[in-house]
Chains A and B, each alone.
Chain A
Amino acid sequence: MSASPAIVTQAARASAVIEARTPWRRAWERFKRNRVGYYSLWAFLVLLVLAVISPLLANENPLLVHYQGRNYFPIFSNYPETKFGGDFRTPVDWFDPFIKAQLAKDGNWALYTLIRYSPNSVNYNHLESDPAPPSRDHWLGTDPHGRDIVARLLFGFAVSVLFGIALTFVGTLIGVAAGALQGYFGGWVDLTGQRLIDVWNAVPILYILIILAAMFEPSVVLLLFLFAIFGWTTLSDYVRAEFLRNRSLEFVKAARAMGLSHWRIIRRHILPNSMTPVITFMPFRMSEGILGLTALDFLGLGVPSTVPSLGELLRFSKENLDAWWIGVPTFFVLVFTLLLLTFIGDALRDAFDTRKG
């Protein structure tokens, strides 16, 4: 309760001790208070870093080779076999017993990655039939094509998560733009936009995907494009509703009375106050994207087999029910990822709930 100026200053001094916290900052502090969500975020960020550097973790090429006094970096460039005492100018096969013997000679050594296989490398010197059970060479065994499961899982996770992030980013941009335009201008813009979205939502996305998969060679980029152009409508509805509500608030009217341009009012006054559903939606949108990609790969409509994917691993496990080492780890990776995203989303929702202090 402000009283005379003297009391006002008193109050100002009293609360000067409390630093001015931005609304974002307060939301972040509320987020941190949710321990599960907070640790999930950290776990997810660690996994994300691992995903980004996955080529340094699982690679058939050694990181560093010291051969006859010289250093080679096979992970960055290809070397002909002749460099290491071979007969042909073909790229080195690092599984070749001959090369291994050369490297074992006095003074030569090689520094390998944690997992010695790339997701697409096939070890032809491995003697068991594929899919092979876990062994010292292949910690989680191999898939039916003889490729290492650990490397496939790691790269599959990376592809899924990066796909999810890219999809969320593109979808959020389109969704926010469409929702903002409809909500801010209202009237005919809104009506037309809403009807177009209705029509757009009625398009059966799965059939489109199947048709397009038959026409084009499916690639990650094509799938991203398809998911993105169909996946923004839900978010745009939320943003539209926020804009409709916020544009009638008095501070927006005051900004209009101030004569500010539409763009400035949207950017400075309405958009920052309409971000709650956008941010809360992101983790759920990501898990949706990851699941969508996995489902398509499982059906064999998704990315080509050269691209490692969790869905493909699930399909392999369905086709080889006795090879438990394919399905069980994939299941856990998938569940763990989606669980983390759900926890993060829950915590975000709580953090942005304005009814909480």
Chain B
Amino acid sequence: MATAPPLLEIDNLCIDFGSKRVVDHVSLTVGVGEKVGLVGESGSGKSVTALAILRLLDAATYQGAIRFGADSILTKSERWMRGLRGRDIAMIFQEPMTALDPLYTVGSQIGEVLEVHEGVRPNAARARSIELLRRTGIPEPERRIDAFPHQLSGGQRQRAMIAMALACRPKLLIADEPTTALDATVQAQILALLDDLQREFGMAILFITHDLALVRRFTHRVGVMELGKLVESGPTETVFTQPHHPYTKRLLNSRAERQVEPIGADAPIVLAARDVRVTFTRSEGWFRHSNFIAVGGVTLELRSGETVGIVGESGSGKTTLGMAMLGLQSMSAGDVLINGQSLAEADRELLRKFRRRIQVVFQDPFASLNPRMTINQILEEGLAWHMPELSDAERRKRVLAALAEVGLGAAGGLEDVLDRYPHQFSGGQRQRIAIARAVVIEPEILVLDEPTSALDVSVQKQVLTLLAGLQKRHGMSYIFISHDLSVIRAMAHRMLVMKDGLVVEQGECEAVIRQPQMPYTRALLQAVSYAGELDVPPTALGATP
């Protein structure tokens, strides 16, 4: 690549928002037809860098230079930039639902690009749009072209976005987390499509992601960003096999490792779900109702000290099942037994006792803490409710102990934490607080609903280690809900694979991964192993055609 002049050259780029520097002296080149990855955790400035290439940032001041071919982008007029955007450099975004305009059909949105940049007449634009949609693998493109974004599935929307980006055969495609919002199986398809199209069109791709495994699989060269600085860059394999910068090493090291303690065969069953069914009624018009079966009869047992993983893609009913076991979602049939007592028939007093035994940790650390309560108030509330006999001093002692337990209170910072508000903590810290809130009332069972999905990779591993440690010390049982097979593999004794509200496969975690019996499980494993996240033995996948 070094011989030909680069297609895109970012030279000592600095970007400031007011007095805040978000990108600090970043230099990066993308050659013609090259696939370059830009990795980093949230807040590292990778997306800002990408938006700067198209000069799409408002209220930002730039220093340095961005050269596209012979043109210096930062000095051009806005009018000139409009000609560049979408024609020579196109972009696809993370969330295709918000990146497409809900008021126009996909066809008219793709056609618009052609009409604006190439002056194509509407009829011809339509024909070319259909062709583009077909190329991106959307079934029945003649029909889909008149569909509105909400009528397409997530994967189809992203395909439509790609069709739109490719309409003018751009020389450079900027893909900002193009698969993050998609399910694992769809993710693999979209990446394969991008790979094909890149080869066919000979375009360069700047691939922005937080996901190291994807970068390794997908790109020629990679740049690693931390807090606005490009800390390391080079050929992908070199960076992955011989990382130099400590941050890169830490990122590479952050893959979750299996940390599961074996449990005794005589461990008592603490929770048992018996044929749990949850049905939602949707009204259609005045008197018509249709039933949507979210969970269609799930039976599972959880032993003391055990972790049961529930894997599934979005819409598989795994979260609804978790909520039903917590008693937060009413069941239409079946029952949940907690220490042998029925949840469905529990009266108020018994329900209150159940609440103490089974607690929950949610996905989004920004939504799971009340922004108007201090950390002390958040932790104290459950204690005061369930153990009113505690004195103020004892309660405070327990709150401090819980904070120390989740790693927020090492070396004297504890008292200081108590009176602060959630917004003063980072995502990982908030998740620790959410765990402390659940743990402080000493439950026997924790339902973990995607507890690490919203966190950066390096933080993810810490939170998993924390959870494993808590389980070891207190003998808690976990129901671990996740879409991420590698996380489940790291944490769970047994796993259930859910699809459309039903358990399609279950068994010992390793056994399921090594010898999946059902086609759906195999597809899921294949998708994950495409991304390189899991060392799945080839024998497990060999059976698929």
Contacts and interface: CB of A to CB of B under 8 A. Distances in A.
B416 A12 contact: yes
B428 A250 contact: no
Contacts of A272: 370, 372
B345 interface: no
A259 B385 contact: yes
Nearest to B404: A5
B88 to A, nearest CB: 33
B373 interface: yes
A257 B329 CA distance: 11
Contacts of B434: 254
B416 to A, nearest CB: 5
Contacts of B426: 1-2, 11
Nearest to A13: B413
Q: How large is the interface on B (under 10, 10 to 19, 20 to 34, 35 or more residues)?
A: 35 or more
B408 interface: yes
A8 B408 contact: yes
Interface stretch (A19-27, A51-59, A173-181): A19-27
Given A23-B421, A268-B381, A254 B368 contact: yes
Q: How large is the interface on A (under 10, 10 to 19, 20 to 34, 35 or more residues)?
A: 35 or more
Contact of B328 (A8, A16, A256, A273): A256
A117 B125 CA distance: 82
B352 interface: yes
Contacts of B427: 1-2
Interface stretch (B167-175, B228-236, B456-464): B456-464
Contacts of A2: 425-429, 432, 459, 462
Contacts of B215: none
A253 B360 contact: yes
A16 B237 CA distance: 42
Nearest to A22: B421
B454 to A, nearest CB: 11
B211 interface: no
B428 A1 contact: yes
B141 interface: no
Nearest to A275: B372
A147 B250 CA distance: 84
B326 interface: yes
A112 B341 CA distance: 81
A8 B413 contact: yes
Contacts of A22: 372, 421
Contacts of A8: 407-408, 410, 413, 429
Given A5-B410, A9-B413, A250-B368, A257 B359 contact: yes
A268 B369 CA distance: 12
Interface string A154-187: 0000000000000000000000000000000000
A273 B456 contact: no
A249 B369 CA distance: 9
A20 B410 CA distance: 19
A45 to B, nearest CB: 26
Contacts of A16: 413, 416
A30 interface: no
A1 B416 contact: no
Nearest to B353: A259
Given A2-B459, A8-B407, A250-B362, A273 B417 contact: no
Nearest to A23: B372
Contacts of B459: 1-3
Interface in B211-236: none
B424 interface: yes
A4 interface: yes
Contact of B370 (A1, A15, A264, A273): A273
B27 interface: no
A266 to B, nearest CB: 13
A32 interface: no
Contacts of A4: 462
Interface string B425-445: 111110010100110010000
B417 A269 contact: no
B386 A259 contact: yes
Contact of A1 (B355, B372, B424, B456): B456
B424 A20 contact: yes
Interface string B36-66: 0000010100000000000000000000000
Given A5-B407, A260-B385, A12 B355 contact: no
Contacts of A264: 385
Given A3-B462, A22-B421, A254-B438, 7 more contacts: A1-B459, A251-B367, A253-B328, A253-B362, A255-B370, A258-B381, A268-B373
Interface of B: 41, 43, 323, 326-328, 351-352, 354-356, 358-360, 362-364, 367-374, 381-382, 385-386, 407-408, 410-413, 416-417, 419-421, 423-429, 432, 434, 437-438, 441, 456, 458-459, 462
5 contacts: A12-B417, A20-B419, A22-B421, A258-B441, A268-B381
